[in-house]
Structure formats: C-alpha cells, structure tokens
Amino acid sequence: MIVDITCSKYPACASNKKSCAIEKIDSANSATIVSQIAKIEADLFGSGCWNKNMILQELQAPMRAYYAYIDENANTDTNTDTVAGYAGFWFDGDDAQIMTIGVAKEYQKQGIASNLLKTMIENAKSIGAKRMLLEVKVNNNPALKLYKKFGFTKMGLRKRYYMPEGIDAYTMCAQIEDLDDLENLESSKSLEESSEAYNSAKSEENND
C-alpha cells in the first residue's frame, strides 16, 4: 500500500515563477506519471536506471510512499501533469529508507530536490518514523553536502553498491526528531550544482 500522506504545495519553482505542487503518487495519477518518471530515470541514471515495470512494482510494494513534483503550468493546453522530479521512501516502524530522488535536467538547480527531501522527512515523521536512512555514491559530493545540510551523517560504507559501475556507497542516517526546524534551513540551491546531486539512493534489493 501507499499510505495517505500529506502533499505539499509551493508557490513557485524558484526563479522560473511556475506554479508547482508535490503530489503523492497513487492509483489515481500513476498512469500519467510513471512513464515520465521512467524517462527521467533513463536520462539521469543510464544503465543503472529503474525501468517502467520496476517503478510500477515499487509503487505497488507495501509500506512505500512516493511523490511527484508537478509543474502545473507546463502543459496547460493538454491538461497533462508534467513531472519535474520525484522521490520515495520505504518505512517500517522506527525507520524510513529513502529509495530514490530524481529531478529532470531542465528543472535542476531550482531547489526541487530540497523540497522533495523536506516532504519525505515531514511525512516520515508524521507516520511515526524515528530516523531516516539512505545510500549515496561516495563520489557524489553535491548530494553529500545536501544530505549533510539536512542533518544526515555517515554510518558506513557499502562496497560496489551501485551497479553496473561498481561504485561504493555511503550509508547515512538522520534522527527525525532532530529535524524539527526544516522551514528555517538555509537554502541549499547552491549545493545542487550538478546533475549528480540527484543520483538516487536505491535500496539494496533493487541492486541485486
């Protein structure tokens, strides 16, 4: 199942002054969203991407919550939602595990990854999670800086975690109860300076 978790509304997509919203992905909107996510995945992650079937399986798996960052002004003629970014997490009791974060290249450097991360932290806390976990490539310095800004610290190292490249991953953790003042976090736009900032932290089960 995907629990009924609060969605977020933002007045603008940074400097472009677009109307945007973060929406929970569910059975009502997944048909129009999944294909766009698959395209973004392929563009960002190449041979390591999730394909459409993998995305659908992940959305249908238990204890998942996934979100799409929608540009509401992009396709006003066709009335079709345009996905600028997406993110999701798995949860079980005290722990919430970030599964992926991705932002389309044309929407990067606008703080979208930060807003998606805030949404996941807020909603994980609302369902009782005590800490949030993730994996990130050891050479992904912009993402590491972003996660550090949100209170994540390194826990360990997983050798050759990201396949097929065989890149190592850091495991990171944040205590959710320590992240009460998200609205006053300094803007992390400057920390999202390359497309690598959006490399997703895929769960280990999806790297087998």
Which residue in the block uniquely carries the two structure tokens 């006053």? 184
* Cβ pair 159, 138 in contact under 8 A: no
**Cα dist from 69 to 11, 120, 175, 203, whole Å:** 12, 12, 25, 21
User: Which amino acid is residue 140, in one-letter code?
Assistant: N
Active site residues: 135, 147
